[in-house]
Amino acid sequence: MDVHAIEARWRERWQQSALYRTDFDTARRPFYNLMEFPYPSGEGLHVGHVYTYAGADTFGRLRRMQGYAVFQPMGFDAFGIHSENYALKVDRHPAELIPANIRRFRDEQLSRLGCAFDWSRSLSTTDPDYYRWTQWLFVQLFNAGLAYQAEAAVNWCPQDQTVLANEQVIDGRCERCDTLVVRRELRQWFFRITAYAERLLDFSAGEFPPEWIAAQRAWIGRSEGAEIDFRIVDQSAPLTVFTTRPDTLFGTTFLALAPEHPLVEAVTILEHRAAVAAYITTARNRPERERTIAADKSGVFSGAYARHPITNAAIPIWIADYVLPHGNAALMGVPAHDERDFAFAVRYNLPLLPVIAAANAELPYTAPAG
């Protein structure tokens, strides 16, 4: 039996009869079965693509058998680092390289999988007819104040000359080329997704895995809380911290600033400057994920104090890399009621001050240590 000949014959039959072309005008039960478009980089499709497409295609076929008019498009996510890197590597212009890669992906790989793609409606993100809508959408966001520029610390791969997402940094190295990733201040574009945090954090519409919800929460950020001003001793500028637990304010025994906080240099007193500078250099190059999940919370004392806004007690100001350079980039340390603050306080012998009745406390409390 000549499998290759049989497959080729049926592929041609399907194509000629436009089997997978959906008629939107007459469809009574339309169903949109979308899967992620691949990057048409030089490497071609790999088995991971087939792994995801096979499952989604099977689902599309089930829907078709249930009487739905299934629209299952396929296209190419052709802009970006994958295409750019490949073009540099083989020293050819992307304008000729991308169409050639797309032809190979489509004709030699994707169509041979036998998935029910409607090739009459395909796109590449590099088509001007497509990206004019991306640009249109961006302009709408910009006009609505939802797209803005700001300086922010990013993961930077010196080899690829590009910014990496936290997920692309593995043990401090670039996932693509294994180069040591550095932290860099860069002016860049942001979308103000926090304006929609309440709605984005509502997962009641579907069933999602708990680890997926946790990741979404970390990305979207916490939306509810309070900003509290602490007066820095011998300085005029206040230090504003963000807390989701303003009810634990009385339990504050230290303040912690992200190493990237703009006030770090100004608050640090002379005798502590060398230690703080050394700490910051190391901390800034640690990937954010590692900074937040590491069991050993690290930090350095700035030598400065702030006044508790109610009790007027002197609260030491620390620099700690588990505080990330987002939002206020500063927190009030309440070790009796926060797990991370607790770990930090234990390591640096900072006092614990329980202020919520033990029945509500999240941690077993210990007597103040210092």
Give the interface with Zn ion as residue ranges (CB under 5 A). Answer: 157, 159-160, 174, 176-177, 179
Token pair for residue 333? 């340390």
Let me know: does 323 contact 243? Beta carbons within 8 Å: no
Q: Which is nearer to Zn ion, 135 or 179 (CB)?
A: 179
Let me know: does 72 contact 53? Beta carbons within 8 Å: no
Q: Which residues contact 206 (CB under 8 A, 6 or more apart)?
A: none
- CA 252, CA 331: separation in Å to the nearest integer? 10
Q: Which is nearer to Zn ion, 97 or 174 (CB)?
A: 174
| Nearest Cα residue to 338 out of 357, 318, 365, 314 | 365
Angle between helices 81-90 and 94-103 (to 10 degrees): 110
Q: Which is nearer to Zn ion, 163 or 356 (CB)?
A: 163
The CB-of-178 to Zn ion minimum distance in angstroms stands at 7
| Helix/strand/coil for 203 | coil
* Torsion on CA atoms 276, 277, 281, 283, rounded to nearest 10: 10
Residue whose Cβ sits closest to Zn ion: 174
The CB-of-166 to Zn ion minimum distance in angstroms stands at 14
The CB-of-43 to Zn ion minimum distance in angstroms stands at 16
The CB-of-129 to Zn ion minimum distance in angstroms stands at 33
| Nearest Cα residue to 348 out of 318, 321, 325, 323 | 318
The CB-of-155 to Zn ion minimum distance in angstroms stands at 10
The CB-of-177 to Zn ion minimum distance in angstroms stands at 3
Q: What is the DSSP letter of 76?
A: B
Q: Which is nearer to Zn ion, 120 or 179 (CB)?
A: 179
Q: Which is nearer to Zn ion, 159 or 235 (CB)?
A: 159
Q: Which is nearer to Zn ion, 44 or 172 (CB)?
A: 172
Q: Which is nearer to Zn ion, 181 or 317 (CB)?
A: 181
The CB-of-367 to Zn ion minimum distance in angstroms stands at 49
Let me know: does 315 contact 252? Beta carbons within 8 Å: yes
The CB-of-270 to Zn ion minimum distance in angstroms stands at 39
Q: Is the dihedral of CA 332, 336, 342, 347 positive or negative?
A: positive
In degrees, rounded to 5, the angle at the alpha carbon of residue 352 between the alpha carbons of residues 351 and 354 is 150
Rg (CA), the chain: 27
Tell me the Ramachandran region of residue 41: left when phi exceeds 0, alpha when psi lies from -120 to 50, beta otherwise: beta
Q: Which is nearer to Zn ion, 120 or 188 (CB)?
A: 188
